[in-house]
Structure 1
Amino acid sequence: MRYEGTVYRPPSEAESLLIQATIGCPHNKCTFCGMYRKTKFRIRSVSDIKEDLRTARKYHGEKVQSIFFPDGNTILMKTDQLTEILYYAQEMFPFLKRMTVYGSAKYLKLKKIKDFRRLKEAGLTRIHSGMESGDDEVLRRIEKGFTSSEMIEEGLKVRGAGIELSEYILIGIGGRERTYEHAIESARVLNAFTPDFVRLRTYVPWKGTPLYEDYQQGHFHLLSPHEALEETHLLVANLKGPFDLLSDHVSNFAWVNGKIPKQKPEILETLEKLLSVPEDRFRQVDSRLF
Protein backbone atom coordinates (compact mmCIF):
# COMPACT_ATOMS: atom_id res chain seq x y z
CA MET A 1 0.00 0.00 0.00
CA ARG A 2 1.13 3.54 -0.70
CA TYR A 3 0.45 6.39 1.69
CA GLU A 4 0.94 10.10 1.10
CA GLY A 5 1.32 12.52 3.99
CA THR A 6 -0.08 11.86 7.46
CA VAL A 7 -3.01 9.48 7.34
CA TYR A 8 -5.79 10.18 9.86
CA ARG A 9 -8.54 7.80 10.88
CA PRO A 10 -11.20 7.71 13.62
CA PRO A 11 -10.28 5.75 16.78
CA SER A 12 -13.07 3.31 15.96
CA GLU A 13 -11.19 2.38 12.77
CA ALA A 14 -8.04 1.31 14.65
CA GLU A 15 -8.34 -2.26 13.41
CA SER A 16 -9.34 -1.33 9.86
CA LEU A 17 -7.22 -1.64 6.75
CA LEU A 18 -6.43 1.91 5.54
CA ILE A 19 -6.52 2.47 1.78
CA GLN A 20 -6.11 6.08 0.67
CA ALA A 21 -8.74 7.01 -1.89
CA THR A 22 -8.23 10.76 -1.70
CA ILE A 23 -5.36 12.96 -0.58
CA GLY A 24 -6.11 15.87 1.74
CA CYS A 25 -9.46 17.60 2.18
CA PRO A 26 -11.41 19.46 -0.54
CA HIS A 27 -12.79 21.99 1.98
CA ASN A 28 -9.69 22.52 4.14
CA LYS A 29 -11.01 25.77 5.64
CA CYS A 30 -12.12 24.73 9.13
CA THR A 31 -10.44 27.20 11.45
CA PHE A 32 -9.72 24.61 14.14
CA CYS A 33 -8.31 21.81 11.97
CA GLY A 34 -4.67 21.35 10.99
CA MET A 35 -4.91 17.86 9.53
CA TYR A 36 -4.59 18.72 5.84
CA ARG A 37 -3.71 22.42 5.92
CA LYS A 38 -0.56 22.04 3.78
CA THR A 39 -1.89 19.30 1.50
CA LYS A 40 -3.37 19.96 -1.94
CA PHE A 41 -6.52 17.89 -2.41
CA ARG A 42 -6.72 15.29 -5.13
CA ILE A 43 -8.62 12.11 -5.87
CA ARG A 44 -6.51 9.04 -6.51
CA SER A 45 -7.19 7.03 -9.65
CA VAL A 46 -9.37 3.96 -9.39
CA SER A 47 -6.54 1.87 -10.87
CA ASP A 48 -4.10 3.00 -8.15
CA ILE A 49 -6.61 2.28 -5.41
CA LYS A 50 -7.28 -1.18 -6.84
CA GLU A 51 -3.56 -1.83 -7.00
CA ASP A 52 -3.27 -0.98 -3.30
CA LEU A 53 -6.17 -3.32 -2.53
CA ARG A 54 -4.37 -6.12 -4.37
CA THR A 55 -1.17 -5.37 -2.46
CA ALA A 56 -3.09 -5.46 0.81
CA ARG A 57 -4.60 -8.82 -0.18
CA LYS A 58 -1.09 -10.24 -0.76
CA TYR A 59 0.12 -8.87 2.57
CA HIS A 60 -2.90 -9.54 4.82
CA GLY A 61 -4.60 -12.40 3.02
CA GLU A 62 -8.34 -12.47 2.47
CA LYS A 63 -9.37 -12.26 6.15
CA VAL A 64 -9.60 -8.45 6.36
CA GLN A 65 -12.98 -7.54 7.88
CA SER A 66 -13.03 -3.73 7.78
CA ILE A 67 -11.62 -1.02 5.52
CA PHE A 68 -11.49 2.74 6.01
CA PHE A 69 -10.79 4.86 2.91
CA PRO A 70 -8.99 8.11 3.92
CA ASP A 71 -8.45 11.06 3.46
CA GLY A 72 -10.91 13.83 4.27
CA ASN A 73 -14.30 13.72 2.54
CA THR A 74 -13.72 10.69 0.35
CA ILE A 75 -17.50 10.74 -0.16
CA LEU A 76 -16.78 13.47 -2.73
CA MET A 77 -15.63 10.83 -5.22
CA LYS A 78 -17.96 10.19 -8.13
CA THR A 79 -20.49 7.54 -7.21
CA ASP A 80 -19.44 5.31 -10.12
CA GLN A 81 -15.81 5.41 -9.01
CA LEU A 82 -16.56 4.78 -5.36
CA THR A 83 -18.93 1.90 -6.06
CA GLU A 84 -16.33 0.31 -8.35
CA ILE A 85 -13.77 0.47 -5.53
CA LEU A 86 -16.21 -0.91 -2.97
CA TYR A 87 -17.19 -3.86 -5.15
CA TYR A 88 -13.53 -4.58 -5.92
CA ALA A 89 -12.67 -4.51 -2.22
CA GLN A 90 -15.34 -7.14 -1.63
CA GLU A 91 -13.77 -9.30 -4.34
CA MET A 92 -10.37 -9.02 -2.67
CA PHE A 93 -11.72 -9.56 0.84
CA PRO A 94 -14.76 -11.86 0.91
CA PHE A 95 -15.04 -11.65 4.72
CA LEU A 96 -15.52 -7.86 4.79
CA LYS A 97 -18.10 -6.67 7.30
CA ARG A 98 -17.55 -2.91 7.15
CA MET A 99 -16.31 -0.24 4.73
CA THR A 100 -16.29 3.41 5.80
CA VAL A 101 -15.33 6.93 4.67
CA TYR A 102 -15.28 10.52 5.91
CA GLY A 103 -18.02 12.83 4.62
CA SER A 104 -19.22 16.24 5.83
CA ALA A 105 -22.63 17.72 5.04
CA LYS A 106 -21.03 20.05 2.47
CA TYR A 107 -20.18 17.04 0.31
CA LEU A 108 -22.98 14.71 1.33
CA LYS A 109 -25.38 17.16 -0.30
CA LEU A 110 -23.70 16.60 -3.67
CA LYS A 111 -25.24 13.11 -3.79
CA LYS A 112 -28.87 12.12 -4.14
CA ILE A 113 -30.45 9.40 -2.06
CA LYS A 114 -30.25 7.06 -5.05
CA ASP A 115 -26.45 7.52 -4.99
CA PHE A 116 -26.29 6.58 -1.32
CA ARG A 117 -28.46 3.54 -1.99
CA ARG A 118 -26.02 2.47 -4.71
CA LEU A 119 -23.12 2.94 -2.30
CA LYS A 120 -24.96 0.96 0.36
CA GLU A 121 -25.53 -1.88 -2.11
CA ALA A 122 -21.84 -1.78 -3.06
CA GLY A 123 -20.88 -2.25 0.58
CA LEU A 124 -20.48 1.21 2.12
CA THR A 125 -21.44 0.62 5.73
CA ARG A 126 -20.77 3.86 7.57
CA ILE A 127 -19.94 7.53 7.02
CA HIS A 128 -17.94 9.43 9.64
CA SER A 129 -19.10 13.06 9.63
CA GLY A 130 -17.70 16.01 11.54
CA MET A 131 -20.73 18.08 12.43
CA GLU A 132 -18.78 19.72 15.31
CA SER A 133 -21.74 21.91 16.33
CA GLY A 134 -25.42 22.44 15.66
CA ASP A 135 -25.20 26.17 16.35
CA ASP A 136 -25.21 28.11 13.08
CA GLU A 137 -23.15 30.95 14.55
CA VAL A 138 -20.44 28.53 15.69
CA LEU A 139 -20.55 26.77 12.31
CA ARG A 140 -20.08 30.14 10.60
CA ARG A 141 -17.19 31.12 12.85
CA ILE A 142 -15.29 27.86 12.36
CA GLU A 143 -16.06 27.89 8.61
CA LYS A 144 -17.52 24.39 8.36
CA GLY A 145 -19.14 25.14 5.02
CA PHE A 146 -22.70 24.08 5.91
CA THR A 147 -25.62 25.05 8.13
CA SER A 148 -27.50 23.11 10.78
CA SER A 149 -30.50 22.70 8.47
CA GLU A 150 -28.25 21.25 5.77
CA MET A 151 -26.79 18.82 8.31
CA ILE A 152 -30.28 17.64 9.23
CA GLU A 153 -31.28 17.24 5.57
CA GLU A 154 -28.16 15.29 4.69
CA GLY A 155 -28.30 13.21 7.85
CA LEU A 156 -31.85 12.12 7.05
CA LYS A 157 -30.80 11.30 3.49
CA VAL A 158 -27.90 9.07 4.55
CA ARG A 159 -29.99 7.35 7.22
CA GLY A 160 -32.80 6.88 4.70
CA ALA A 161 -30.42 5.02 2.41
CA GLY A 162 -29.57 2.59 5.21
CA ILE A 163 -25.97 3.75 5.73
CA GLU A 164 -24.77 4.19 9.30
CA LEU A 165 -23.83 7.72 10.31
CA SER A 166 -21.24 8.53 12.97
CA GLU A 167 -21.41 12.20 13.99
CA TYR A 168 -18.68 14.08 15.84
CA ILE A 169 -19.37 16.90 18.31
CA LEU A 170 -16.56 19.18 19.52
CA ILE A 171 -17.05 20.10 23.15
CA GLY A 172 -15.86 23.67 23.71
CA ILE A 173 -15.69 24.70 20.04
CA GLY A 174 -18.06 27.59 20.78
CA GLY A 175 -15.75 28.89 23.49
CA ARG A 176 -17.16 30.35 26.69
CA GLU A 177 -19.22 32.87 24.75
CA ARG A 178 -21.47 30.31 23.05
CA THR A 179 -21.21 27.25 25.26
CA TYR A 180 -24.95 27.25 25.99
CA GLU A 181 -26.02 27.73 22.36
CA HIS A 182 -23.50 25.15 21.18
CA ALA A 183 -24.83 22.48 23.56
CA ILE A 184 -28.54 23.19 23.05
CA GLU A 185 -28.39 23.54 19.27
CA SER A 186 -26.16 20.48 18.85
CA ALA A 187 -28.71 18.41 20.77
CA ARG A 188 -31.54 19.81 18.64
CA VAL A 189 -29.83 18.92 15.38
CA LEU A 190 -28.79 15.44 16.53
CA ASN A 191 -32.32 14.69 17.70
CA ALA A 192 -33.66 15.75 14.30
CA PHE A 193 -31.89 13.04 12.29
CA THR A 194 -30.69 10.59 14.98
CA PRO A 195 -27.33 9.32 13.70
CA ASP A 196 -26.30 5.83 14.78
CA PHE A 197 -23.36 7.17 16.79
CA VAL A 198 -22.62 10.50 18.47
CA ARG A 199 -18.92 10.76 19.31
CA LEU A 200 -17.59 13.45 21.63
CA ARG A 201 -14.30 15.27 21.21
CA THR A 202 -13.01 18.19 23.28
CA TYR A 203 -11.51 21.08 21.37
CA VAL A 204 -7.75 21.45 21.80
CA PRO A 205 -5.98 24.35 19.99
CA TRP A 206 -3.87 23.12 17.09
CA LYS A 207 -0.78 25.16 16.26
CA GLY A 208 -0.80 26.72 12.82
CA THR A 209 -4.59 27.08 12.61
CA PRO A 210 -6.58 30.35 12.65
CA LEU A 211 -8.44 29.39 15.82
CA TYR A 212 -5.17 28.68 17.59
CA GLU A 213 -4.07 32.23 16.76
CA ASP A 214 -7.37 33.58 18.12
CA TYR A 215 -6.77 31.57 21.30
CA GLN A 216 -3.20 32.89 21.62
CA GLN A 217 -4.36 36.48 21.17
CA GLY A 218 -7.13 36.11 23.75
CA HIS A 219 -10.01 36.34 21.27
CA PHE A 220 -11.15 32.74 21.89
CA HIS A 221 -11.55 31.45 25.43
CA LEU A 222 -11.09 27.74 26.09
CA LEU A 223 -13.42 26.00 28.50
CA SER A 224 -11.97 24.87 31.81
CA PRO A 225 -12.41 21.16 32.69
CA HIS A 226 -15.54 21.91 34.75
CA GLU A 227 -16.95 24.15 32.02
CA ALA A 228 -16.38 21.38 29.46
CA LEU A 229 -18.15 18.91 31.75
CA GLU A 230 -21.04 21.34 32.26
CA GLU A 231 -21.37 21.79 28.50
CA THR A 232 -21.34 18.01 28.05
CA HIS A 233 -24.00 17.66 30.76
CA LEU A 234 -26.22 20.24 29.05
CA LEU A 235 -25.80 18.50 25.71
CA VAL A 236 -26.59 15.04 27.09
CA ALA A 237 -29.54 16.30 29.14
CA ASN A 238 -31.16 17.51 25.92
CA LEU A 239 -30.45 14.44 23.78
CA LYS A 240 -33.43 12.24 22.93
CA GLY A 241 -31.89 9.69 20.57
CA PRO A 242 -32.04 6.88 19.90
CA PHE A 243 -28.30 6.55 19.28
CA ASP A 244 -25.08 5.44 20.94
CA LEU A 245 -23.15 8.17 22.75
CA LEU A 246 -19.40 7.58 22.80
CA SER A 247 -16.56 9.48 24.45
CA ASP A 248 -13.75 7.64 22.68
CA HIS A 249 -10.95 10.20 22.54
CA VAL A 250 -7.99 11.20 24.71
CA SER A 251 -9.04 14.87 24.62
CA ASN A 252 -12.16 14.32 26.74
CA PHE A 253 -12.41 14.97 30.48
CA ALA A 254 -15.17 12.39 30.94
CA TRP A 255 -15.32 8.78 29.77
CA VAL A 256 -19.09 8.60 29.27
CA ASN A 257 -20.55 5.99 26.97
CA GLY A 258 -24.01 4.55 26.64
CA LYS A 259 -27.27 4.32 24.76
CA ILE A 260 -29.48 7.38 24.59
CA PRO A 261 -32.11 7.59 26.04
CA LYS A 262 -31.85 4.34 28.04
CA GLN A 263 -28.58 5.12 29.83
CA LYS A 264 -28.87 8.91 29.93
CA PRO A 265 -29.55 9.03 33.70
CA GLU A 266 -26.35 7.09 34.46
CA ILE A 267 -24.33 9.29 32.10
CA LEU A 268 -25.65 12.47 33.71
CA GLU A 269 -24.92 11.08 37.16
CA THR A 270 -21.33 10.32 36.14
CA LEU A 271 -20.88 13.87 34.85
CA GLU A 272 -22.30 15.30 38.05
CA LYS A 273 -19.87 13.26 40.14
CA LEU A 274 -16.97 14.46 38.01
CA LEU A 275 -18.05 18.06 38.57
CA SER A 276 -17.40 17.53 42.28
CA VAL A 277 -13.76 16.67 41.56
CA PRO A 278 -11.38 19.68 41.91
CA GLU A 279 -10.40 21.07 38.52
CA ASP A 280 -6.69 20.72 39.20
CA ARG A 281 -7.19 16.94 39.24
CA PHE A 282 -8.02 16.91 35.54
CA ARG A 283 -5.32 16.40 32.96
CA GLN A 284 -5.22 19.04 30.26
CA VAL A 285 -4.26 17.84 26.77
CA ASP A 286 -1.18 19.74 25.64
CA SER A 287 -1.75 21.67 22.41
CA ARG A 288 1.84 20.88 21.44
CA LEU A 289 0.66 17.35 20.70
CA PHE A 290 -1.32 18.67 17.74
Structure 2
Amino acid sequence: MHYVGNIIRPPSEANSILLQVTVGCSRNKCTFCGTYMGERFQIKPDDIILEDIAFAATYCKRQRRVFLCDGDALIIPQKRLVRILIEIQRQLPWVTRIGSYANAKSLNMKSPEELVELQRLGLGILYMGLETGDDVTLKAIRKGATSSEMIEMGQKARACGMKLSLTVLLGIAGTQRSDIHARETGRVITAIDPEYVGALSLMLIPGTPLYEDAVSGRFQLPDSRGMLQELFTMLSNTHMNRGLFMANHASNYLPLRVRMPGDRQAALDLIEKALAGKVDLKPEYLRAL
Protein backbone atom coordinates (compact mmCIF):
# COMPACT_ATOMS: atom_id res chain seq x y z
CA MET A 1 0.00 0.00 0.00
CA HIS A 2 1.20 3.52 -0.83
CA TYR A 3 0.51 5.34 2.44
CA VAL A 4 1.44 9.00 2.81
CA GLY A 5 1.50 10.98 6.08
CA ASN A 6 -0.82 10.22 8.99
CA ILE A 7 -3.43 7.55 8.38
CA ILE A 8 -6.49 7.72 10.62
CA ARG A 9 -9.71 5.77 10.70
CA PRO A 10 -12.68 5.36 13.05
CA PRO A 11 -12.28 2.74 15.81
CA SER A 12 -15.02 0.64 14.18
CA GLU A 13 -12.89 0.36 11.01
CA ALA A 14 -9.95 -1.25 12.82
CA ASN A 15 -10.24 -4.46 10.78
CA SER A 16 -11.02 -2.81 7.45
CA ILE A 17 -8.83 -2.49 4.38
CA LEU A 18 -7.47 1.05 4.66
CA LEU A 19 -7.42 2.44 1.14
CA GLN A 20 -5.87 5.91 1.08
CA VAL A 21 -7.51 7.88 -1.72
CA THR A 22 -6.76 11.38 -0.39
CA VAL A 23 -3.93 12.83 1.67
CA GLY A 24 -4.90 15.04 4.58
CA CYS A 25 -8.16 16.89 5.14
CA SER A 26 -9.96 19.14 2.68
CA ARG A 27 -10.66 21.69 5.44
CA ASN A 28 -7.81 21.32 7.94
CA LYS A 29 -8.77 24.45 9.91
CA CYS A 30 -10.37 23.08 13.08
CA THR A 31 -8.64 24.60 16.11
CA PHE A 32 -8.57 21.36 18.13
CA CYS A 33 -7.21 19.01 15.47
CA GLY A 34 -3.51 18.39 14.95
CA THR A 35 -3.78 15.36 12.71
CA TYR A 36 -2.84 17.07 9.46
CA MET A 37 -0.89 20.11 10.62
CA GLY A 38 1.30 21.26 7.74
CA GLU A 39 -0.18 18.63 5.39
CA ARG A 40 -1.42 19.88 2.03
CA PHE A 41 -4.64 18.22 0.94
CA GLN A 42 -4.54 16.25 -2.30
CA ILE A 43 -6.42 13.52 -4.10
CA LYS A 44 -4.07 10.67 -4.87
CA PRO A 45 -3.40 9.74 -8.51
CA ASP A 46 -5.77 7.15 -9.95
CA ASP A 47 -2.95 4.80 -10.92
CA ILE A 48 -1.70 4.66 -7.31
CA ILE A 49 -5.21 4.00 -6.02
CA LEU A 50 -5.69 1.21 -8.56
CA GLU A 51 -2.37 -0.35 -7.57
CA ASP A 52 -3.47 -0.40 -3.94
CA ILE A 53 -6.81 -1.99 -4.82
CA ALA A 54 -4.91 -4.67 -6.75
CA PHE A 55 -2.66 -5.21 -3.72
CA ALA A 56 -5.71 -5.64 -1.51
CA ALA A 57 -7.18 -8.09 -3.99
CA THR A 58 -4.17 -10.34 -3.42
CA TYR A 59 -3.34 -9.82 0.24
CA CYS A 60 -6.55 -8.69 1.99
CA LYS A 61 -9.02 -11.45 1.22
CA ARG A 62 -9.98 -11.96 4.88
CA GLN A 63 -11.17 -8.36 5.37
CA ARG A 64 -14.81 -7.68 4.53
CA ARG A 65 -14.82 -3.89 4.71
CA VAL A 66 -12.95 -1.01 3.09
CA PHE A 67 -12.38 2.41 4.61
CA LEU A 68 -11.44 5.26 2.29
CA CYS A 69 -8.77 7.37 3.98
CA ASP A 70 -7.96 10.18 4.78
CA GLY A 71 -9.89 13.07 6.27
CA ASP A 72 -12.62 13.47 3.65
CA ALA A 73 -12.73 11.08 0.71
CA LEU A 74 -16.26 12.20 -0.15
CA ILE A 75 -14.78 15.44 -1.53
CA ILE A 76 -13.47 13.50 -4.56
CA PRO A 77 -15.35 14.50 -7.75
CA GLN A 78 -18.22 12.15 -8.46
CA LYS A 79 -16.89 10.52 -11.64
CA ARG A 80 -13.54 9.68 -10.05
CA LEU A 81 -15.16 8.38 -6.87
CA VAL A 82 -17.57 6.24 -8.87
CA ARG A 83 -14.64 4.69 -10.77
CA ILE A 84 -12.91 3.87 -7.49
CA LEU A 85 -16.02 2.20 -6.06
CA ILE A 86 -16.60 0.22 -9.26
CA GLU A 87 -13.01 -0.99 -9.16
CA ILE A 88 -13.42 -2.07 -5.54
CA GLN A 89 -16.52 -4.02 -6.52
CA ARG A 90 -14.72 -5.62 -9.44
CA GLN A 91 -11.49 -6.59 -7.67
CA LEU A 92 -12.77 -7.08 -4.11
CA PRO A 93 -16.15 -8.79 -4.61
CA TRP A 94 -16.13 -10.15 -1.04
CA VAL A 95 -16.26 -6.65 0.48
CA THR A 96 -19.64 -5.99 2.11
CA ARG A 97 -19.30 -2.30 3.02
CA ILE A 98 -17.24 0.76 2.19
CA GLY A 99 -16.92 3.71 4.57
CA SER A 100 -15.57 7.25 4.46
CA TYR A 101 -15.30 10.42 6.50
CA ALA A 102 -17.54 13.28 5.37
CA ASN A 103 -18.25 16.85 6.38
CA ALA A 104 -20.99 19.37 5.69
CA LYS A 105 -19.08 20.86 2.76
CA SER A 106 -18.53 17.59 0.91
CA LEU A 107 -22.10 16.45 1.54
CA ASN A 108 -23.40 19.75 0.21
CA MET A 109 -21.34 19.28 -2.96
CA LYS A 110 -23.06 15.97 -3.72
CA SER A 111 -26.61 15.93 -5.07
CA PRO A 112 -29.07 13.44 -3.57
CA GLU A 113 -28.87 11.48 -6.83
CA GLU A 114 -25.08 11.30 -6.56
CA LEU A 115 -25.24 10.10 -2.96
CA VAL A 116 -27.75 7.41 -3.94
CA GLU A 117 -25.40 6.32 -6.74
CA LEU A 118 -22.49 6.06 -4.28
CA GLN A 119 -24.63 4.11 -1.83
CA ARG A 120 -25.64 1.65 -4.55
CA LEU A 121 -21.96 1.16 -5.36
CA GLY A 122 -21.21 0.10 -1.79
CA LEU A 123 -20.51 3.31 0.13
CA GLY A 124 -22.64 2.29 3.07
CA ILE A 125 -21.52 4.47 5.99
CA LEU A 126 -20.26 8.02 6.47
CA TYR A 127 -18.48 9.29 9.57
CA MET A 128 -19.23 12.95 10.22
CA GLY A 129 -17.52 15.12 12.82
CA LEU A 130 -20.30 17.16 14.38
CA GLU A 131 -18.21 17.99 17.49
CA THR A 132 -20.94 20.26 18.93
CA GLY A 133 -24.43 21.54 18.21
CA ASP A 134 -23.64 24.95 19.73
CA ASP A 135 -23.28 27.54 16.97
CA VAL A 136 -21.02 29.78 19.07
CA THR A 137 -18.62 26.90 19.65
CA LEU A 138 -18.80 25.72 16.03
CA LYS A 139 -17.65 29.17 14.96
CA ALA A 140 -14.95 29.34 17.64
CA ILE A 141 -13.41 26.02 16.57
CA ARG A 142 -13.64 26.98 12.86
CA LYS A 143 -15.70 23.97 11.93
CA GLY A 144 -17.02 25.68 8.81
CA ALA A 145 -20.71 24.89 9.29
CA THR A 146 -23.63 25.92 11.47
CA SER A 147 -25.78 23.53 13.45
CA SER A 148 -28.63 23.96 10.96
CA GLU A 149 -26.26 23.04 8.11
CA MET A 150 -25.06 20.02 10.04
CA ILE A 151 -28.66 18.91 10.54
CA GLU A 152 -29.51 19.45 6.87
CA MET A 153 -26.49 17.52 5.60
CA GLY A 154 -26.89 14.71 8.12
CA GLN A 155 -30.54 14.27 7.19
CA LYS A 156 -29.58 14.39 3.51
CA ALA A 157 -27.10 11.53 3.90
CA ARG A 158 -29.60 9.39 5.78
CA ALA A 159 -32.38 10.10 3.28
CA CYS A 160 -30.09 8.78 0.54
CA GLY A 161 -29.66 5.44 2.28
CA MET A 162 -26.32 6.08 3.98
CA LYS A 163 -25.71 4.96 7.53
CA LEU A 164 -24.35 7.87 9.53
CA SER A 165 -21.97 7.94 12.48
CA LEU A 166 -21.62 11.28 14.27
CA THR A 167 -18.64 12.21 16.41
CA VAL A 168 -19.10 14.71 19.24
CA LEU A 169 -16.49 16.11 21.62
CA LEU A 170 -16.99 16.42 25.34
CA GLY A 171 -15.16 19.51 26.58
CA ILE A 172 -14.91 21.29 23.23
CA ALA A 173 -16.82 24.35 24.50
CA GLY A 174 -14.67 24.74 27.59
CA THR A 175 -16.10 25.33 31.05
CA GLN A 176 -17.90 28.54 30.06
CA ARG A 177 -20.36 27.02 27.55
CA SER A 178 -20.27 23.43 28.78
CA ASP A 179 -23.97 23.11 29.57
CA ILE A 180 -25.08 24.93 26.40
CA HIS A 181 -22.81 22.74 24.28
CA ALA A 182 -24.20 19.57 25.86
CA ARG A 183 -27.85 20.57 25.44
CA GLU A 184 -27.43 21.87 21.89
CA THR A 185 -25.47 18.81 20.81
CA GLY A 186 -28.28 16.59 22.08
CA ARG A 187 -30.72 18.71 20.08
CA VAL A 188 -28.76 18.31 16.83
CA ILE A 189 -28.20 14.57 17.32
CA THR A 190 -31.94 14.16 17.86
CA ALA A 191 -32.75 16.11 14.69
CA ILE A 192 -30.38 14.02 12.57
CA ASP A 193 -31.25 10.72 14.30
CA PRO A 194 -28.14 8.84 13.11
CA GLU A 195 -27.42 5.15 13.47
CA TYR A 196 -24.35 5.81 15.61
CA VAL A 197 -22.97 8.52 17.88
CA GLY A 198 -19.46 8.46 19.26
CA ALA A 199 -18.78 10.82 22.18
CA LEU A 200 -15.06 11.42 22.70
CA SER A 201 -13.42 13.51 25.41
CA LEU A 202 -11.29 16.38 24.11
CA MET A 203 -7.56 15.97 24.64
CA LEU A 204 -5.55 19.08 23.89
CA ILE A 205 -2.82 18.59 21.29
CA PRO A 206 0.35 20.72 21.46
CA GLY A 207 0.72 23.00 18.46
CA THR A 208 -2.99 23.44 17.82
CA PRO A 209 -4.69 26.84 18.28
CA LEU A 210 -6.94 25.45 21.02
CA TYR A 211 -3.92 24.18 22.95
CA GLU A 212 -2.37 27.63 22.78
CA ASP A 213 -5.65 29.12 24.03
CA ALA A 214 -5.54 26.74 26.98
CA VAL A 215 -1.93 27.63 27.80
CA SER A 216 -2.75 31.35 27.69
CA GLY A 217 -5.85 30.92 29.85
CA ARG A 218 -8.35 31.83 27.13
CA PHE A 219 -9.75 28.28 27.18
CA GLN A 220 -10.36 26.11 30.22
CA LEU A 221 -10.92 22.39 29.69
CA PRO A 222 -13.51 20.81 31.99
CA ASP A 223 -12.14 18.33 34.52
CA SER A 224 -13.33 14.72 34.75
CA ARG A 225 -16.44 15.71 36.69
CA GLY A 226 -17.23 18.44 34.15
CA MET A 227 -16.87 15.94 31.32
CA LEU A 228 -19.23 13.52 33.06
CA GLN A 229 -21.79 16.26 33.65
CA GLU A 230 -21.63 17.17 29.95
CA LEU A 231 -22.16 13.54 29.02
CA PHE A 232 -25.16 13.33 31.34
CA THR A 233 -26.73 16.51 29.95
CA MET A 234 -25.99 15.54 26.35
CA LEU A 235 -27.51 12.07 26.70
CA SER A 236 -30.49 13.54 28.60
CA ASN A 237 -31.21 15.75 25.59
CA THR A 238 -30.59 13.06 22.97
CA HIS A 239 -33.63 11.18 21.68
CA MET A 240 -32.72 8.66 18.98
CA ASN A 241 -35.31 6.30 17.53
CA ARG A 242 -32.73 3.49 17.44
CA GLY A 243 -28.99 2.97 17.12
CA LEU A 244 -26.00 3.24 19.42
CA PHE A 245 -24.73 6.12 21.52
CA MET A 246 -21.17 5.23 22.44
CA ALA A 247 -18.77 6.87 24.86
CA ASN A 248 -16.30 4.01 24.99
CA HIS A 249 -13.37 5.73 23.24
CA ALA A 250 -9.95 5.52 24.90
CA SER A 251 -10.21 9.22 25.80
CA ASN A 252 -13.31 8.81 27.97
CA TYR A 253 -13.43 8.57 31.76
CA LEU A 254 -16.55 6.36 31.89
CA PRO A 255 -16.98 3.83 29.04
CA LEU A 256 -20.57 3.59 27.82
CA ARG A 257 -22.29 1.70 25.03
CA VAL A 258 -25.95 2.67 24.97
CA ARG A 259 -28.48 1.04 22.68
CA MET A 260 -31.10 3.70 22.11
CA PRO A 261 -33.67 4.27 23.35
CA GLY A 262 -33.98 1.26 25.65
CA ASP A 263 -30.65 1.53 27.50
CA ARG A 264 -30.72 5.32 27.86
CA GLN A 265 -32.11 5.57 31.39
CA ALA A 266 -29.76 2.91 32.76
CA ALA A 267 -26.82 4.82 31.25
CA LEU A 268 -28.01 8.08 32.82
CA ASP A 269 -28.30 6.30 36.18
CA LEU A 270 -24.73 5.01 35.83
CA ILE A 271 -23.40 8.50 35.06
CA GLU A 272 -25.20 9.85 38.13
CA LYS A 273 -23.51 7.17 40.26
CA ALA A 274 -20.15 8.15 38.78
CA LEU A 275 -20.83 11.81 39.58
CA ALA A 276 -21.61 10.75 43.15
CA GLY A 277 -18.27 8.93 43.38
CA LYS A 278 -19.82 5.46 43.44
CA VAL A 279 -18.24 4.30 40.15
CA ASP A 280 -14.51 4.29 39.42
CA LEU A 281 -13.34 6.40 36.50
CA LYS A 282 -10.53 5.62 34.08
CA PRO A 283 -7.25 7.06 35.44
CA GLU A 284 -5.51 9.77 33.41
CA TYR A 285 -2.56 7.57 32.50
CA LEU A 286 -4.86 5.15 30.66
CA ARG A 287 -6.58 7.81 28.55
CA ALA A 288 -5.44 8.28 24.95
CA LEU A 289 -6.45 9.77 21.61
Q: One fold, TM greater than 0.5?
A: yes
The separation in 2 between residues aligned to 1:82 and 1:217, in whole angstroms, is 43
Aligned partner of 2:181 in structure 1 is: 182
| Counterpart residue type for residue 37 of structure 1 | M
CA shift for structure 1 position 56? 1.5
1:176-209 deviation per Cα after TM superposition (whole angstroms, max 9, x unaligned): 0011110111111111111110101000100110
CA shift for structure 1 position 286? 8.5
SS at match of 1:19: strand
| Counterpart residue type for residue 150 of structure 2 | M
Residues 1:212 and 2:211 are matched in the alignment: yes
Residues 1:272 and 2:272 are matched in the alignment: yes
The separation in 2 between residues aligned to 1:73 and 1:281, in whole angstroms, is 34
The separation in 2 between residues aligned to 1:246 and 1:84, in whole angstroms, is 34
SS at match of 1:125: strand
Residues 1:55 and 2:91 are matched in the alignment: no
Contact 1:64/1:93 (<8 A) preserved: no
Give the number of equivalent residue pairs: 288
The separation in 2 between residues aligned to 1:285 and 1:130, in whole angstroms, is 26
The separation in 1 between residues aligned to 2:150 and 2:127, in whole angstroms, is 13
Aligned partner of 2:135 in structure 1 is: 136
Aligned partner of 1:10 in structure 2 is: 10
Aligned partner of 1:239 in structure 2 is: 238
Residues 147-156 or 45-54, more deviating: 45-54
CA shift for structure 1 position 73? 1.0
4+ runs of 1 displaced by more than 3 Å?
278-282
Normalising by structure 1, report the TM-score.
Answer: 0.95
The separation in 2 between residues aligned to 1:20 and 1:189, in whole angstroms, is 30
1:247-266 matches, cutoff 5 A = 247-266=247-266
- Show structure 2 runs of 5+ residues with no match: none
1:1-290 matches, cutoff 5 A = 1-61=1-61, 63-242=62-241, 243-277=243-277, 282-284=282-284
The separation in 2 between residues aligned to 1:199 and 1:7, in whole angstroms, is 19
| Counterpart residue type for residue 10 of structure 2 | P
SS at match of 2:20: coil
| Counterpart residue type for residue 191 of structure 1 | T
The separation in 1 between residues aligned to 2:281 and 2:200, in whole angstroms, is 19
CA shift for structure 1 position 285? 5.7
Contact 2:235/2:264 (<8 A) preserved: yes
The separation in 1 between residues aligned to 2:88 and 2:106, in whole angstroms, is 23
Contact 2:254/2:281 (<8 A) preserved: no
Identity of aligned residues (%): 36
Contact 2:274/2:281 (<8 A) preserved: no
SS at match of 2:99: strand
The separation in 2 between residues aligned to 1:120 and 1:196, in whole angstroms, is 16
CA shift for structure 1 position 47? 2.4
The separation in 1 between residues aligned to 2:281 and 2:247, in whole angstroms, is 19
CA shift for structure 1 position 273? 1.2
Contact 1:172/1:222 (<8 A) preserved: yes
- Show structure 1 runs of 5+ residues with no match: none
Contact 1:131/1:151 (<8 A) preserved: yes
The separation in 1 between residues aligned to 2:65 and 2:18, in whole angstroms, is 9
SS at match of 2:204: coil
SS at match of 1:126: strand
Residues 150-159 or 88-97, more deviating: 88-97
Q: Structure 1's 136 and 286: CA in aligned 2 closer, same or farther, altered over 3 A?
A: farther
| Counterpart residue type for residue 96 of structure 2 | K
1:123-147 deviation per Cα after TM superposition (whole angstroms, max 9, x unaligned): 1010011010000000000000001
Normalising by structure 2, report the TM-score.
Answer: 0.96
CA shift for structure 1 position 280? 9.5
CA shift for structure 1 position 270? 1.1
Please report the RMSD computed on the Cα atoms of aligned residues, expressed in angstroms: 1.7
The separation in 1 between residues aligned to 2:138 and 2:73, in whole angstroms, is 21
Residues 45-54 or 273-282, more deviating: 273-282
